[in-house]
Amino acid sequence: MPIVTTDTGRPPRLTRLVFHGPLSETRADRVVRRLVRTDPATVLDIGCGWGELTLRLLAAAPGATAVGLDINAEDLARARREAGARGLADRVEFVKASVEEAARGPADLVLCVGSGQALSTAAPPGHTVEALRKLRRLVNPGGRVLFGEGFWQRTPTPAELSRMWPGASADEHLDLAGLVDTAVAAGFRPEWTETANEDEWEEFESGYLAGEEEWLAAHPDHPLAAEVRERADRHRAAWMAYRGVLGMAYLTLIPAS
């Protein structure tokens, strides 16, 4: 694979990832099959990124249309290119906006994978409570919500927290039981509970850095190399700290009557 840069001279961004999260294609296929069992006509993807999961859902549900919301213009441009390449451009709209700005929903199927913070201004983990309450209002009766959210697999030590992201706290995430209980309290029944495994995390985290690492190996003296190297090293150190500590849950939720 040739090493490429963008027209700004920066290394390629996230080109080695299929999904922007620890989600394997095998798990994604199972999730898609489960979600389309209800024959959704409308899909809302909150924090859609480049929209890979939504595009797969549209391919599996030929009668559905979708709206994807995100604030990253680069990811949205990638989503639109992929929609065009797959013949889905007339069934999906990718919008640069927050949920509040776009005022979208309700929908038969709502995706919120790693984007719960977009639905709340509360400090973690309170944002999870508020996000689930809002998602309950955004899904139509009989529909489904796919909620992807981080959780602590075990309580992190102070030393581990000090090497994670700035301000990382043991109170920042719920455990898995607490996350599921919060979904139930928000008015859902959990149809399916699953969590990313170690292979999925390693594929995601390695793929997250792979393009930059390849670029750095070939361009050690580039004017941007110090900046890119510092960012990559910082992210890798954080990953090594939360590896086996931070989990990712994928909850398929049914709105309770």
> What are 125's two structure tokens?
């983990």
> What are 215's two structure tokens?
């670029």
Task: Give which of 161, 174, 87, 67 is closest to 127, Cα–Cα.
Answer: 174
d(CA 201, CA 245): 11
* CATH architecture of residue range(s) 25-255: 3-Layer(aba) Sandwich (3.40)
d(CA 199, CA 252): 21
| pTM exceeds 0.85, yes or no | yes
Burial-class residue 90 by CB neighbours within 10 Å (0-12, 13-18, 19+).
exposed
d(CA 77, CA 226): 28
Predicted confidence (pLDDT) per residue in 40-96, tens digit: 999 999 999 999 999 999 999 999 999 999 999 999 999 999 999 999 999 999 999
Phi-psi region of 36 (alpha: psi -120 to 50; beta: other; left: phi over 0): alpha
Report DSSP letters for 184-200, one per residue.
Answer: HHTTEEEEEEEE--HHH
> Could you read off the pLDDT tens digit of each residue along the chain, which spans 257 residues?
333 344 457 788 899 999 999 999 999 999 999 999 999 999 999 999 999 999 999 999 999 999 999 999 999 999 999 999 999 999 999 999 887 776 677 999 999 999 999 898 888 888 999 999 999 999 999 999 999 999 999 999 999 999 999 999 999 999 999 999 999 999 999 999 999 999 999 999 999 999 999 999 999 999 999 999 999 999 999 999 999 999 999 999 999 98
Alpha helices, DSSP H, located in the chain? 25-35, 52-60, 73-85, 99-102, 126-138, 158-162, 176-185, 198-218, 225-242
Q: Are 81 and 116 in contact (CB under 8 A)?
A: no
